[in-house]
């Protein structure tokens, strides 16, 4: 296990194409969602128990992988903590997981996953509205195709 964690940490240091990392993210979330749904259904588990299991396992792995960087937390200013706690902890760590687990337990993955993973649309909007990221024709076309694909997959 320790060797696997060291390997993961070293992989994160490599300069890997961000699109490849995003594709790996999508693959992990898609395959992970399948196994999470199976576990919820087979064990007749509540979504809250499923999230607790997921979070506990993630906490152990991430604590080990991030251990060398823990000292940076002491230097972080309070607003960094606020952004991380509200964004990563409350919104992306709790609210989304409660909704996601309830959805995958109650409906087919083919209906839930396309809608649940519209998050890039919201992220792109936030970047455009609040981070001065450009709204280009390519972005508009990509967002439109994403919405179209979601409609096709979820109806």
> Given pLDDT bands bounded at 50, 70 and 90, which one contains residue 24?
confident
State yes or no: pLDDT of 40 exceeds 90: yes
Dihedral pair phi/psi, residue 77, rounded to 5°: -75, 160
Per-residue b/e over 106-128, b at no fewer than 16 CB within 10 Å? eeebeebbbebbeeeeeebeeee
Average pLDDT score over the chain:
87
Please check the confidence at residue 78 and state whether its pLDDT lies above 70.
Answer: yes
Lowest-pLDDT range of 18-22, 56-60, 129-133: 18-22
Question: What whole-number distance in Å separates Cα of residue 5 and Cα of residue 66?
Answer: 10
pLDDT score, position 153: 80
Kindly report the pTM of this predicted structure: 0.74
In this predicted structure, the answer to whether residue 41 has a pLDDT above a threshold of 90 is yes
């Amino acid at each position: 296990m320790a060797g696997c964690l060291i390997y993961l940490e070293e992989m994160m240091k490599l300069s890997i194409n961000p699109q490849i990392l995003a594709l790996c993210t999508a693959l992990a979330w898609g395959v992970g969602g399948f196994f999470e749904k199976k576990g919820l259904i087979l064990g007749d588990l509540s979504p809250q128990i499923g999230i607790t299991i997921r979070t506990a396992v993630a906490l152990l792995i991430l604590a080990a992988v991030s251990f060398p960087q823990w000292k940076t937390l002491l230097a972080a200013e309070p607003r960094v903590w606020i952004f991380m706690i509200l964004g990563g902890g409350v919104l992306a760590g709790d609210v989304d997981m409660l909704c996601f687990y309830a959805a995958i337990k109650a409906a087919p993955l083919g209906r839930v996953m396309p809608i649940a993973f519209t998050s890039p649309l919201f992220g792109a909007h936030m970047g455009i509205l609040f981070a001065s990221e450009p709204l280009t024709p390519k972005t508009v076309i990509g967002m439109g195709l994403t919405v179209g694909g979601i409609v096709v997959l979820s109806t």
